[in-house]
Amino acid sequence: MSDDDQDDRDDELRDMLRQFLSGNASFDPSQLAGAAGLPGDAASLQALMSQLQGALRSPSDGIDWSIALEQGTTIASTDASDPTPAQRAALDQAFQVAALWLDEVTSISELTTTPVLLSRRQWVKKTMPVWTQLAEPVATSIADALTNVLQEQAPEEMRGMLQNAGHMVRAIGGTMFAMQLGQVVGQLSQEVVSGGDVGIPLLEDGSAALLPQNVSAFGEGLDIPDDQVALYLAVRELAHARLFRHAKWLRLRLISAITEFARGVRIDVERMQELAEGFDPSNPEELREAMASGALIPPKTQEQQAALTRLETLLALIEGWVDIVTARATARLPKSDAVAETVRRRRAAGGPAESAFATLVGLELRPRRLREAAAMWSAVTDAVGDEARDGLWSHPDLLPSSDDVDDPSALVARLTASASGVEPEYDELDEAIAAMLSGKDFGEVVGEDSDEGGADQGNSGQDEDDQGEDDQGEDNQGDDSRPD
């Protein structure tokens, strides 16, 4: 292909993009808005075209996550109302009482910052950085796979043009993914009641928050006084925030586990090839549906399943501890059991937005072993008390394992023995390591063992001589039995 032909193809591509972005191409712009999950009104179409233009003009191949933030805050602002002064006063008082009740059942100290009340829009703004961090590995994998497949499947004479179109493909795919994430987070803002409601630390460590509008919606139809619902949710939120402030390593470990899982997601190449063969930039509906339905993410590999099991165990340990501490702190609340059961059922089922995030990223955030983990924490508390229980969060190596969740009896036995001052048995290697850690020379330990064993060694030699005489006697007896 000559340079002139290549220039002509590049001009055709630029003309197509120009028509596409100006809305003059031969397609219904409302169809594109529908693919992005937007209404077909003029304002939404203008916003969508502006976002695509910005993505295409960007010199970077990265995803512009500001699109997700804009989409999320737009949805969060729908039917939003500010809390009344009476609601604010009631929730502020609930936080104060919750802090006092928690002090009675946990050794983990109170927060250093004052809990806040957030609107849905504020919740989206504060939590979006974490959502994009969790979703970025999958979004990048999809964009990379789509670009690579397009270039590999294209005829030889078209590859040069598609190389120039690669940025366009990534921009459109990334923009669609960011919009989908924005919708998910915006919808979640209408479901969550607090900062830690989904189980992961979306706010900064040591921060606690309630969403007054959603707290009111949570209590509707429960036949439970509003003040009891608010107090229970305040206790639960403070317990979650205190845990992550206390265990400073926990946030990094949990977020790292989630992003590690997301990086392991592999895109279904065959499905991507099907999309690439019929890819039409003016009609990204099929690409949007493939991303939203999870069709591009194949079943989990064994390695991913193992990583998911570890992640689910950690989530269950966190949620189980929060459940037990909250239950003990709210024991004097007449309807605490009813509120607790509602929370558990809600967490087990998950809302529509949480399910959408699971489909989009391939990861469910619901702890599957919540009841088992809560039962373990309860057994530990009954056996050794609050302080020893909370001490297990002081270091990741002390945290209960999946086996402990299955059967907490061994863990309880170890903690009980430690609390009663019973020292565990050590073998020789453990003794040597303990001696070295205490500054004692390893040779001294060996020498002491040798000296202590000297007498035994001498006795052992005497025993061997006696045994030799016995053996000799047996030999002589054998000789006497032979015929002459």
Top-confidence residue, 127 or 167:
127
In tens, the pLDDT along 317-362 reads 999 999 999 999 999 999 999 999 998 888 877 665 677 677 777 7
Judgement on whether residues 99 and 243 belong to the same structural domain of the protein: yes
Residue 8 has pLDDT above 60, yes or no: no
**Do 66 and 185 fall within a single domain?**
yes
Give the DSSP letter string of 328-386: HHTTTSTTHHHHHHHHHHHHHH--HHHHHHHHHHS---S-TTHHHHHHHHHHHHHHHHH
Q: Tell me the pLDDT band of 272, cut-offs 50, 70 and 90.
A: low
Say if 156 falls within a structural domain: yes
The alpha carbon torsion through 226, 231, 237, 242 (nearest 10 deg) reads 170
Domain boundary among 320, 338, 361: 361
Residue 402 lies in a domain: no
The pLDDT-based confidence of 452 (bands split at 50, 70, 90) is very low
Over residues 68-87, the pLDDT tens digits come to 999 899 999 887 677 788 88
Q: What is the pLDDT of residue 180?
A: 83
Which domain-ending residue is among 327, 361, 395? 361
Q: Indicate if 328 and 464 belong to the same structural domain.
A: no
Q: How confident is the model at residue 311 (pLDDT cuts 50, 70, 90)?
A: confident
305 with 202, same domain?
Answer: yes
Q: Is pLDDT of 438 > 50?
A: yes
**Same domain for 457 and 338:** no
Domain assignment of residue 8, yes or no = no
Domain boundaries, position 322: 54-361
- In the chain, the number of structural domains is 2
d(CA 197, CA 347): 9
Let me know if residue 416 belongs to a domain: no
Domain membership of residue 316 (yes or no) is yes
457 versus 293: the higher-pLDDT residue is 293
- pLDDT by residue (tens digit) across 386-407? 999 999 999 999 999 999 999 9
Residues 330 and 459 in one domain: no
Residues 344 and 438 occupy one common structural domain: no
Q: Do the Cβ atoms of 177 and 290 come closer than 8 Å?
A: no
Structure tokens at 173: 């795919």
Of 17-31, 48-62, 105-119, 228-242, the least confident: 17-31
The residue ranking higher by pLDDT, 425 or 181, is 181
Answer yes or no: do 343 and 453 share one domain. Answer: no
Among 332, 361, 390, which residue terminates a domain? 361
**Residue 206 contacts residue 240 (beta carbons within 8 Å):** no
Same domain for 432 and 314: no
Instruction: State the pLDDT at residue 15.
Output: 47
- What one-letter code names the amino acid at 284? P
Q: Which range, of 33-42, 252-261, 390-399, averages the lowest pLDDT? A: 33-42
pLDDT of residue 457: 45
Which of 16-25, 213-222, 397-406 ranks highest by mean pLDDT?
397-406
Q: What pLDDT score was predicted for residue 221?
A: 82
- Do both 336 and 451 map to the same domain? no
- Both tokens assigned to 290: 């493939």
Residue 44 domain-assigned (yes or no): no
Average pLDDT, the chain: 75
Residue 265 lies in a domain: yes
Q: Give percent helix, percent strand, percent coil of the chain, each to the nearest 5.
A: 70, 0, 30
